[in-house]
Chain A
């Protein structure tokens, strides 16, 4: 099927082309977002009591729930951007170049959704800027939440800068074929562009990618986010150095899954089989399998250490893992996905895009549930568990559940809008697939004529 040659026209197809499906999807996503906005406004009006949360301790509930679980989840998904970009730019894995920009955009979308959750879970979101920024010089020294805000801002800014810098090349060259009514946007994006900046920008974004790959996985999702929990000594389910690496594996699995789904959606919508080839999905699946393995391996660490001769409080927390569906089911799901990917490695004919999508969806569901369990189980089994009302009761209320669909709608809308403004596949990727210019990538040059393997 894919004997076509990748062309500029391909990547420009999304822009300035409105189909019925597009509008339907826009409507659905808009509705999802709108429903949540209504719920959020009700929450702003009435207070957090509209959720299923309550004070932990004598208050009989959990104080952080789905909002925070989903926050962690979205930040994890957002790591797709740097994983792919770093793979391409730093490690020379050109195979993934066609999906790199989509992944970076997923970072921006994912971080926006995560930021939204921060705002939604606060009792006084109106003070987010005045109270937090206003006291930043004091609190950055001690509060893990402020560290969180710092690093998320940094990651977002770095990724946006990366996108902005790399878009200049594309926009300049494709300017003539881009819609006129968006001219002001393109003018701003390419302000001061000269051809000789290309090499300089290349180098700058290389360093950008390096900065992000060190910062985001190791210090954001493998750093300040787990530290929110792992530095508190009175929550045996949380208090461990393993949480840094553990959270990182979750980010990696979720990120790859997000990229798989996103890539497939665009490939399908715009007939990009010859650009986002099956080969990319095969490769992504392999990486997904590897990260799933790491994920389960680190869970094994926790289960072993928590079961052998644990202190009283840790014993209770670990017992819960073995019996609560919110932990067991996600583990089984990830294990299942891993098993399939292993089988696929041994028998490549098992691969299909559909199965890849299913695997990705399963992993995303598993990580969301497991992360939410992680958060609420902390409050269920604290060291000071003397209260009769601990473990507390919790079930996400309707508004909390709407936040899930709402943010998914937000991310969908993000892509629907952005894909109409700029090309979501790098021009470099097209050039590269056509073997056009003298890049100094020595590694695998995937030509676009590889036949698809049918399942």
Chain B
């Protein structure tokens, strides 16, 4: 039986894969936490809320809007991912860590 400990161990490997911050310098929480999630993204929170509250509204259309947001973001980064993997294989001799093993 797979112990819950091992599962969570795997999860934390996925999330952190051996990397972490240095307290007070990097990692949660720091100035960026507040600036990004507390200031910069607030207009987006408000906008999405407004899509679902107030008149005239249509939840389906609101969801379509959200799907556009998520979909375009995904397409952007997945496209970027594919491009960078091609660059990796052609110019740098292989996939980057953690997809391939690192080391000299």
Touch test A–B (CB under 8 Å): yes
Interface residues of A (CB under 8 A from B): 41, 44-45, 119, 124-131, 133-135, 137-144, 146-147, 150-151, 153-154, 156-158, 160-161, 164-165, 192, 196-197, 199-201, 203-204, 207-208, 210-212, 214-215, 219, 223-224
Q: How many residues of B contact A (CB 8 A)?
A: 53
Our pick among B50, B76, B90, B96 for the contact of A207 (Cβ within 8 Å) is: B50
Smallest CB-CB separation from A41: which chain B residue?
Answer: B91
Inter-chain contact B32/A129, CB cutoff 8 Å: no
Q: Is B103 an interface residue (CB 8 A)?
A: no
- The reply to whether A140 and B36 contact each other, CB–CB distance below 8 Å, is yes
Contact with A along B10-39 (1 / 0, CB 8 A): 000001010111000111111111011001
Q: Count chain A CB atoms within 10 A of each CB in B43, B50, B88, B91 and give the residue with the most.
A: B43
A137→B54 CA distance, assembly (Å): 33
| Alpha-carbon separation in the docked complex, A137 to B84 (Å) | 21
Contact with A215, one of B32, B33, B40 (Cβ below 8 angstroms): B40
Q: Are B97 and A147 in contact (CB under 8 A)?
A: no
- Most chain-A CB neighbours within 10 Å: which of B20, B39, B72, B77? B72
Q: Does B46 contact A (CB under 8 A)?
A: yes
What is the distance, in angstroms, from A123's C-beta to the closest C-beta of chain B? 10
Are B99 and A161 touching (Cβ within 8 A)?
A: no
4 A-B pairs with least C-beta separation:
A126-B88, A211-B43, A211-B47, A141-B30
Instruction: Check A203–B91 contact: CB distance below 8 A.
Output: no
Contact of A127 among B17, B31, B96 (CB under 8 A): B96
| Distance between Cα atoms of A142 and B23 in the complex (Å) | 11
Contacts of A201 in B (CB 8 A): 61
Q: What residues on B are CB-neighbors of A138 within 8 Å? A: 19-21, 26-28
* Chain B residues whose CB sits within 8 angstroms of the CB of A141 once the complex forms: 21, 26-33
**Chain A residues with CB below 8 A from B85, complex form:** 126
6 further A-B pairs in the complex, CB-CB below 8 A; given A129-B81, A165-B65, A201-B61: A44-B90, A130-B96, A141-B33, A204-B62, A208-B47, A224-B40
Known: A138-B19, A153-B73, A215-B44. A130 touches B50 (CB 8 A): no
A385-B47 Cα distance, complex, nearest whole Å: 47
B98 on the interface (CB 8 Å rule)? yes
Task: State which residues 39-87 of B face A: CB under 8 Å.
Answer: 39-41, 43-44, 46-47, 50-51, 54, 56-58, 60-62, 64-65, 68-69, 72-73, 76-77, 80-81, 84-85, 87
Q: Which of B29, B60, B88 has the most CB of A within 10 A?
A: B88
Contacts of B26 in A (CB 8 A): 138-139, 141-143
Q: Does the CB pair A161–B40 fall under 8 Å?
A: no
Q: Among B17, B41, B85, B99, find the residue whose CB has the most chain A CB atoms closer than 10 A.
A: B41
The answer to whether A133 and B77 have CB atoms under 8 Å apart is yes
Determine the distance from Cα of A339 to Cα of B36 in the docked complex, in whole angstroms. 39
Cα separation A207 to B60 with both chains bound (whole Å): 17
Indicate which residue in B39, B41, B97 contacts A130 across the interface (CB closer than 8 Å).
B97
The reply to whether B28 and A210 contact each other, CB–CB distance below 8 Å, is no
* Cβ A130 vs Cβ B32 within 8 A: no
Contact assessment for B51 and A204 in the assembled complex, using a CB-CB cutoff below 8 Å? yes
